Amino acid sequence: MTSAPEVSRSRRLRHFGSAIVRRGQRLRPRAVRFALTPRGLVTGFVAVHVVYLVGLLHVIVFGGTEGDLPLYRLWAEQALHGYWPVIDYGWVYPAGALAPIMAAIVFGPWSYQLVWLLLTASANGLAIASLTGNLRRRKGYVAAWYWLAVELLLAPVSMLRLEGFAAPLAIAAMVWLVRRPAVAGALIAAATWIKVWPAAIAGAAVAISSLRARIIAGGLAVSAAIAGVVIVYGGGANLFGFATIQGDRSLQLEAPVATPWVWATVLGMPGAQIRQNYVLATREVAGPGAQAAGVLVTLLMPIAFAVILVLLLRARRRALAEGTLTPLAEQRLIVRGAFALAAALIVFNKVGSPQYMLWLAPIVAVGLLVDRRAWARVAEWMAMVCFLTTLVFPVLYLPLIDAHPFAAAVLLARNALVVGLFGWSLAALWRPETSLVALRERLALAATTTTGSLPVVAR
């Protein structure tokens, strides 16, 4: 039998718990309303970057660096002593990557980590400003919060690698494709000269946009400027070396195509192993068929690009025939095509790194801006991909290279989700739109409910 005091205590606890739940339910709408205000978004932006600052404070105070920054700082110091990447030797990155790498050493090697953090925060500020129209476009707040969430989910990679600059530039470019096509083209080119993946956005934009001439002009202007500087200083022979310098490497541990050999190692199958590549400072897989798989995905990647471009052109032609190819419809198609092309760069790649998820997440953020209904579920999947990616690296990376089954299972789940998202992107490009009348009603509704949320050019 339960005593009367125990019953009374139980009732008090239940009452207390119910009161907390009710108070939480009352506070939740207030928190959401606050988050969707300029002050709330700015507060969130500052909070995210303060978290990074606090997390890196012990490194900053002692003049250290984390992530890929020790290597970046080494290159910057060598450049200051007259030995420049691209100019004096072949480099793994495009020449534009020198801009952030050198900018971070402007106050000396000791402050490299702090300056890098401030520069990436500024780049994220550009992304947030573009998504929200300088905080005036309320529909963009969900996309902006999503990008801030990705920055946290992919910690510490999101702020310690070159994608910290390429991704925000890509976001701004995709948002401005309709209203400022030349500027968008310039931003895409600048991002591509930092990391190659934004070329996926360029491919989709050129295939779909009726303003492609201006996009190409902006891109060519930036590309010509970068190439001109490199050639003038004697690095012309190394200008495109990044495209071939790692062509003979084996399957990297985290690449989707490497998954079978990861599990072959976990299961102790003969010849399968996870090994260290000391030259490239990375982990690779080996085993029967691994080299052939690397050759196969290298051949499949351009085929995948061709298929995606055909699907894009098909979708554009259908929209033209139905009279629905508005600027908004073009932007939606470009975002879908860019996602498919960027996903192909990951799925058909023998290299795999955690920062590759920052190729997809920026596109998803813009997708939430241009068509939240279509991208909401994809955003949830992508958030899970980011979470699992951080579990793989850095949390479970040491067990993974020791072929621990749980770590390998997490990697398998992440890679399966990435392949699934790639499949979704193909289906989204292939699937015919609904009837012409329904599509027009949908576009009209979007135009009336999001006035000012997206730049629309009058035809």
pLDDT tens digit sequence for 407-453: 999 999 999 999 999 999 999 999 855 333 344 445 455 555 444 44
Q: Which of left, alpha, beta for 412 (phi over 0: left; psi -120 to 50: alpha)?
A: alpha
Phi then psi for residue 240, to 5 deg, are -110, 20
Measured distance CA(92)–CA(249) in Å, rounded: 12
Q: Which of 345, 358, 1 is nearest to 152 (CA)?
A: 358
β-sheet bridge partners, residue 274:
285
Measured distance CA(108)–CA(115) in Å, rounded: 10
Q: What confidence score (pLDDT) does residue 10 get? A: 55
Q: For residue 253, what are its two tokens? A: 């541990």
* Average pLDDT of every residue of the chain: 90
Question: Where does the pLDDT of residue 19 fall: very low under 50, low under 70, confident under 90, or very high at 90 and above?
Answer: low
Task: Inform me whether the pLDDT recorded for 113 exceeds 60.
Answer: yes
Q: What confidence score (pLDDT) does residue 436 get? A: 37
Q: What confidence score (pLDDT) does residue 12 get? A: 54
> Cα–Cα distances in Å, from 115 out to 25, 66, 97?
41, 13, 16
Q: What confidence score (pLDDT) does residue 457 get? A: 35
State the average pLDDT over residues 126-138: 97
Q: What confidence score (pLDDT) does residue 187 get? A: 98
Q: Which residue has the higher pLDDT, 14 or 346?
A: 346
Q: What confidence score (pLDDT) does residue 450 get? A: 44
Contact between residue 316 and residue 333 where contact means Cβ atoms under 8 Å apart:
yes
Q: What confidence score (pLDDT) does residue 201 get? A: 98
Find the helix or strand (DSSP H, E) in which 382 lies. helix 372-390
Q: For residue 111, what are its two tokens? A: 């402050």
Measured distance CA(137)–CA(237) in Å, rounded: 46
Q: What confidence score (pLDDT) does residue 8 get? A: 59
Q: Which of 295-299, 305-309, 439-443 has the lowest mean pLDDT?
A: 439-443
Cis peptide before 260 (omega within 30 of 0): no
Question: 102, exposed or middle or buried, with CB in 10 Å at 0-12, 13-18, 19+?
Answer: middle
114 by DSSP, 3-state: which?
helix
State the average pLDDT over residues 279-284: 84
Percent of the chain beyond pLDDT 90?
82
State the average pLDDT over residues 389-406: 97
Q: Which of 279, 278, 261 is nearest to 270 (CA)?
A: 261
Find the helix or strand (DSSP H, E) in which 217 lies. helix 212-232
Q: Which of 213-227, 248-262, 263-277, 426-440 has the lowest mean pLDDT?
A: 426-440
Q: What confidence score (pLDDT) does residue 407 get? A: 98
Q: What confidence score (pLDDT) does residue 361 get? A: 98
pLDDT tens, 1-15?
A: 555 554 455 555 455
| Cα dihedral 286→393→339→419 (10° resolution) | 50
Q: What confidence score (pLDDT) does residue 451 get? A: 43
Measured distance CA(199)–CA(241) in Å, rounded: 16
State the average pLDDT over residues 354-359: 97
Residues 6+ apart with CB under 8 A from 397: 407
